[in-house]
Amino acid sequence: MPLLTLKNIQKIYGSKLTPKIEALKNVSFTVEEGEFIAIMGESGSGKSTLLNLIATLDTPSAGEIILNETPLHDLKSSDISAFRRNKLGFVFQDFNLLNTFTNRDNIYLPLVLSGFKPNEMAERLTKIAPTLGITEILDRYPYESSGGQQQRVAIARAIITQPELLLADEPTGALDSRSSKMIMNLFQTINQQGQTVLMVTHSTKAAAHAKRVLFIKDGIVFHEIYKGDDSYLTFMEKINEMQILLDQGGVNNEL
Ligand SMILES: Nc1ncnc2c1ncn2[C@@H]1O[C@H](COP(=O)(O)OP(=O)(O)OP(=O)(O)O)[C@@H](O)[C@H]1O
């Protein structure tokens, strides 16, 4: 049974007063439990729109998103809140940290909302902070932290609940190559522990850490490639080649 199924998803932005933009035309794919998927595509191809729909931050104009056999549009708003709180971790492209809270309290926020005790929260944070390299900045505020530090705090906030499904929008966008590699290794570890990861990225280096890469173009999933038994470098080469082909408009392989 797939963890997540997207059937013929369409998303049109705009209102009576503004021009309509078809961000997603017809997107269908399934995500099995335990997958690590990277979503790639040029700027404006609808990647963030797709993650936002899966995260129930927005609703599709047409089509169906099914999580664990339950169509999301059948869920009551209280169930949707519970799904976001209990099952989902989301790393936002622009981090979405609260500037009135310290980095530590930003990270604790989802646990506070779920009723965790202070010592349980501290124990979880102590485990992940060194890997993310944020131990020294936990008592700073987001506005006192660099973009890369804020991104790592946002990742900590998303993974501290040990979500069944981690959605990450450009999680290495603000990071140097060393930190990016560290984050991708962390995502791989999380995935090996059984969590499903769906990540939007422009970076071939980051995408090659995934087990499958979906390519979005013109509002559809245009192509996908699986890592299989390929080495990291071979898979990265294949992703690069596919990107070049897609940039040239050379393949037509709608899923
Ligand atoms: N809230 C919105 N209202 C109107 N149009 C929107 C909105 N959000 C996104 N769009 C438009 O929908 C299209 C897809 O945007 P989206 O942010 O999903 O792309 P993306 O692939 O994530 O881009 P990037 O890689 O630059 O982050 C774009 O044309 C964008 O301008």
Residue 173, ligand 1, Cβ within 6 A: no
Residue in the structure block whose two tokens are 């080469």: 237
Residue 219, ligand 1, Cβ within 6 A: no
Examine the pLDDT at 192 and tell me if it is beyond 60. yes
Residue 21, ligand 1, Cβ within 6 A: yes
Residue 11, ligand 1, Cβ within 6 A: no
Beta strands 36-40; 21-31: pairing state: unpaired
36 has which bridge partners? 197
Smallest CA separation from ligand 1 atom 16, residue: 46
**Start-to-end C-alpha separation, the chain:** 20
Domain spanning 2-249, CATH class:
alpha beta
- Condensed to tens digits (0 to 9), the pLDDT of residues 147-172 reads 999 999 999 999 999 999 999 999 99
250 band by pLDDT with thresholds 50, 70 and 90: low
Name the region of 180 (left: φ>0; alpha: ψ -120 to 50; beta: rest): alpha
CB within 8 Å of 135: residues ≥ 6 apart: 129
Examine the pLDDT at 237 and tell me if it is beyond 60. yes
Ligand 1 centroid to Cα of residue 44, in Å, is: 5
Ligand 1 centroid to Cα of residue 123, in Å, is: 38
String of DSSP letters for 136-178: GGTTS-GGGS-HHHHHHHHHHHHHTT--SEEEEESTTTT--HH
Q: Which two tokens stand for residue 221?
A: 């999933």
198 has which bridge partners? 37, 167
Q: Which two tokens stand for residue 251?
A: 């393949």
Residue 41, ligand 1, Cβ within 6 A: yes
Q: For residue 84, what is the enclosing H or E element?
A: helix 77-86
Instruction: Give Rg (Cα) of the chain.
Output: 18
Complex ipTM, two decimals? 0.97
Q: Which amino acid is at 45?
A: S
Q: What angle do helix axes 103-113 and 118-132 make, rounded to 10 degrees?
A: 130
What's the CA gap between 243 and 236, in Å, rounded?
Answer: 11
Q: Which two tokens stand for residue 201?
A: 């990225």
- Condensed to tens digits (0 to 9), the pLDDT of residues 100-141 reads 999 999 999 999 999 999 999 999 999 999 999 999 999 999
The atom number, within ligand 1, closest to the CA of 93 reads 27
Q: What percent of the chain has pLDDT over 70?
A: 98
Residue 60, ligand 1, Cβ within 6 A: no
Residue 49, ligand 1, Cβ within 6 A: yes
The atom number, within ligand 1, closest to the CA of 11 reads 12
The average confidence (pLDDT) of the chain is 93
Q: Which two tokens stand for residue 118?
A: 């202070």
What's the CA gap between 53 and 199, in Å, rounded?
Answer: 14
Residue 23, ligand 1, Cβ within 6 A: yes
Residue 145, ligand 1, Cβ within 6 A: no
Beta strands 220-226; 62-67: pairing state: unpaired
217 has which bridge partners? 220
Q: Candidates 25, 47, 169: which one to mutate for ligand 1, based on the most atoms within 8 Å of Cβ?
A: 47
| Biggest alpha carbon–alpha carbon distance for the chain | 55
Residue 43, ligand 1, Cβ within 6 A: yes
Q: Domain residues of the chain, as ranges?
A: 2-249
